[in-house]
A and B are shown apart, each in its own frame.
Chain A
Amino acid sequence: MTTTMARAVPDGAAAVPGAAFTNIPFSRLVRVEWGKATQTRAARWLLAAVAATTVGLMLAPVLAPSTIDQTFTSYLSYVATGLSILLPVVAILTLTSEWSQRTVLTTFTQEPRRLRVVAAKIAVCLMLGAGAAVFGGLVTAAGLAAAGASGRTLDANLDTGLVIAFLLYVLLNVMTGVALGALVHNSAVAIVLPTGFVLLGQASQVVADWLDYATAFNWLLTGEGSGHVS
């Protein structure tokens, strides 16, 4: 450790502050956020897991032609489902890791305009989502090629509209991840919430008839007593 003050802190310490400097350009914020999201070991493993799962899911329609529809859209839907479960996790973590690692203390002193930071994170997540969608398309193409090579005939019912819809599907799922991460600062809770919402939706369908008692009493007014009174 050096105890001599090498001039690493250059002169200019008495210069006029603040007004002389301009806003941090948005492109720089995006580049920094991209580095944050991809340059840790954990982040790279997560992205690798997304890729591996997508490839793994592709095996299902390829290897089980009797139980799964052999159409282009069905192959794509497997990839889409895989991405919709895992990519939001990546998006959530870009936001919640700032809170769980307490790096908000640094990030928001480097750029106090928090919406710009969040906007940069959204941009990064959209870029990751688009990249994942392209990767998913390539995996689907590979799966279709493998299926075609095995002699099956596949129903080519894919058109550009559906491809764009697939891209939107992936991006929307990524955006829900961003929203949940920004809202709920706890990583674990934010990751579990999408599944929680699905379960809540299904459970509410079961109890819907019981909750909506006004509709349940309707039979008294319409006089259709069958099933209620013998």
Chain B
Amino acid sequence: MITASALSKSYGIARVVSDVSLTYEPGTITGFLGPDGAGKSTTLKMIVGLARPDHGTSAVGGRPFVDLPNPTRVVGTLLDPSAMHPGRTGRATLGIAARMAGVPTARVEQLLELVGLAGAADRRVGAYSLGMRQRLGIAQALVGDPQVLILDEPANGLDPEGIAWMRLLLRDFADRGGTVLLSSHLLHEAQATVDHLVVISQGSVVASGRLDDLLATTSLLVRTPDTDALSGALDAAGISYLPRPGPDVHRGHGRRPGHPRARRVHRVQGAGASSPSCGPPTRADSSSCSSH
């Protein structure tokens, strides 16, 4: 649904994005992860036609964004929550988006209900907090009932309840066949939301793939007071490891702690090994790690 091929852009001599190629399929949420200044926003702007790439092409739904006759019906974008006229009311802002998209104004009321801004809809956007503007931006992205959502740091400014709400919203959107591309620099939040991950650093893609596959290849650091017992249990379970010099440190390559094989090691071991330091929370078993 979203494809980009060899996108590159330089501002002057600074190469901001080099040779970024991506493909996103319907029904997926893809996280576009990277530190600040990595080129995430620039890549997103190139996909939606706000920045012209020096090289490369991109397409949404098979056509370049700028060729779409009515883009908000296909792609909803949230690029900058402060990019709203502060003198307009929330309802007027959504009304403009609805009219441009050609959807009836009843949808404005529906969306205001959905994002929880029905009470503040007649206040000027300048009086909104960052979280409210973010929610208004999400409503604006959804106005045209698009199949694709492109969101630049959507969790920015939301409180934990808001982040959880947005996660549910995006999950539902993707489960009904939509494609979501969201950029973030919050690793934990992204991991809880996305199916696929594209990691970008200094303008180039350094890793991309399904979240489970990427995380499955990470390693785990385990401290234990009884290294011999742990080594024996790991050998019995068939997990490769590298004992590190120092009193009580092992590193196990292989599955993350929620994985059945790792759990089996602890059951066999009993009290011999302290529980490993937890990996990042996953959607499936956020309850298995006590530290989160």
B110–A23 touching, CB < 8 Å: no
Contact A17-B85, Cβ < 8 Å, known A8-B111, A12-B145, A28-B99: no
In the complex, per-residue mask of A27-50: 1 if CB is within 8 Å of any chain B CB, else 0? 011011001100111110000000
B116–A39 touching, CB < 8 Å: no
* Bound Cα distance A34, B267 (Å): 70
In the complex, per-residue mask of B45-57: 1 if CB is within 8 Å of any chain A CB, else 0? 0001110000000
B50–A108 touching, CB < 8 Å: yes
Give how many A-B residue pairs fall within 8 Å (CB-CB).
145
A3–B178 touching, CB < 8 Å: no
In the complex, per-residue mask of A4-16: 1 if CB is within 8 Å of any chain B CB, else 0? 0110111111111
Contact A1-B70, Cβ < 8 Å, known A18-B63, A35-B92, A105-B83: no
B68–A18 touching, CB < 8 Å: yes
Contacting residue for A102 out of B67, B80, B147, B162, CB 8 A? B80
A13–B177 touching, CB < 8 Å: yes
Contact A110-B74, Cβ < 8 Å, known A15-B147, A18-B62: no
* Bound Cα distance A21, B69 (Å): 7
A2–B113 touching, CB < 8 Å: yes
Q: Note all chain B residues with C-beta closer than 8 A to A105.
A: 50, 79-80, 83
B111–A110 touching, CB < 8 Å: no
With both chains docked as a complex, state the minimum distance between the C-beta of A87 and any C-beta of chain B, in angstroms.
Answer: 20
Number of residues in B with C-beta < 8 Å to the partner? 63
B69–A101 touching, CB < 8 Å: no
Label chain A's interface by main secondary structure. loop
In the complex, per-residue mask of B18-51: 1 if CB is within 8 Å of any chain A CB, else 0? 0000000010000000000000000000001110
A24–B69 touching, CB < 8 Å: yes
In the complex, per-residue mask of B258-270: 1 if CB is within 8 Å of any chain A CB, else 0? 0000000000000
Number of residues in A with C-beta < 8 Å to the partner? 45
B283 in contact (CB, < 8 A): no
A32–B85 touching, CB < 8 Å: no
B279 in contact (CB, < 8 A): no
A18–B74 touching, CB < 8 Å: yes
With both chains docked as a complex, state the minimum distance between the C-beta of B188 and any C-beta of chain A, in angstroms.
Answer: 20
Contact A101-B63, Cβ < 8 Å, known A8-B114, A17-B148: no
Q: Note all chain B residues with C-beta closer than 8 A to A12.
A: 145
Binding site for A on B (CB under 8 A): 1, 26, 48-50, 60-63, 65-75, 77, 79-80, 82-88, 92, 95-97, 99-102, 107, 110-111, 113-116, 124, 140, 142, 145-148, 161-162, 164-165, 168-169, 172-173, 176-178
